[in-house]
Structure 1
Amino acid sequence: MRRALDRTSRGDWWNDTRLHLCRNEADSIDSAVSTLIRRGTPTPTSDQVVAATSFGLWTGLTGAGIARDPLLGYETTLWQPRLQHAFPYRGDRRRKYIHARLYEVRVLRNRIAHHEPIYRSPLQQLHDDILEIAGMIHPDAHAYIQEHSRAQELIDQMQTALTTGEIRF
């Protein structure tokens, strides 16, 4: 997504005067910059700023922004000219579809990060969503995750435990 946003800027796409962000996304970037400065990086590079941002920022950038607003409507200001290029293998999937999948994955990620229970979450669907999103970026990303992740094995073990009572370690 960063490369797609950088297509018409110098690497710090958030400073592009032609690009307007809604308050949540602008605050997220400002917070990342402030954190870096507070931690001793007086002039953070664009790489450092991107690394310091949250998954929520990137999910938000695929959202609607303020729909039909000529400056803050993300469909026409971010998605069409830039962000759609971050998902070259998306087929006919639209921004709304990708945003919905990213949003649900973000919710799962936050639950895990905050040590909240996830056993009632639709783990199979979320796993499939992660693979689908990766595949929209590049088929090799999908294949890599599928080959190296144990998530499907663990989801299958959980299903077995729930249906038969058999627990395998």
Structure 2
Amino acid sequence: MVEISVRNALHDRLADRTGRGDWWNDPHVRLCRNEDAAIATARTTLVNRGTAQPTSDQIVAATSFGLWVGLTSEGIPRDRVYSYETTLWQPRLQHAFPHRGDRRRRYIHAKLDDIRVLRNRIAHHEPIYRSPLPALFEDLLEIAGMVHPDAREYIETYSRAAEVIGQQRDALTTGAIRF
């Protein structure tokens, strides 16, 4: 839910800025190598799967969470063209997090990157039991709430993460395992 919310919010702000769904093709949007490669990989994947002319919506859906987290990074600091702080964040991307209060790009990026690492570990079936799961779940809720309070409420209402984290804590402290 957080991945989709963040992706769509960032995409919408960039599409608003350029007036086009394929904002990455706008000559005024300059992406660093990793983000440019992520879009190219999404396009190539779609073409290889039989979509001859992928739409911008298809490309956005095929991108990795890493692309969107990368867009909240600093890019190349103090570079007139590739500083994401000045070329992407300040004019547009900060508006993807309208409920962020006084939180800055660097804070949001750090939280998103931690969430990305956890998400990838889970997706690749790697162990997460040593990860600070309660703190990461709070970070996830905080980021969701920055995008929209309803996103946070939805996750809090329908996610079993808090329950599972509690079960992990019980298993580690008492040895009790519940299925």
TM-score (norm 1): 0.97
Aligned amino acid, residue 154 of structure 1: V
2:61 to 51, 56, 61: 51
1:93 to 81, 103, 106: 103
1:154 to 164, 167, 174: 164
Equivalent in the alignment of 1:109: 119
- RMSD over aligned Cα atoms: 0.8
- Is 2:18 the counterpart of 1:6? no
Aligned amino acid, residue 139 of structure 1: P
> Which structure has more RCO (C-alpha within 8 Å, separation ≥ 6)?
2
Counterparts of 2:13 and 2:68 in 1: how far apart (Å)? 12
- Is 2:75 the counterpart of 1:65? yes
5+ residue gaps, structure 1, are: none
Aligned amino acid, residue 66 of structure 2: G
TM-score (norm 2): 0.92
Per-residue deviation, 1:35: 1.2
For 1:73-131, what per-residue CA distance to the aligned partner results, in whole angstroms no more than 9, with x for missing partners? 00000101111111000000000000000001110111111111000001011100110
For 1:44-88, what per-residue CA distance to the aligned partner results, in whole angstroms no more than 9, with x for missing partners? 111000011000000000001001101000000010111111100
Would you say how many aligned residue pairs link Structure 1 and Structure 2?
Answer: 169
Equivalent in the alignment of 1:41: 51
5+ residue gaps, structure 2, are: 1-9
- Is 2:84 the counterpart of 1:74? yes
Aligned amino acid, residue 11 of structure 1: G
Equivalent in the alignment of 1:20: 30
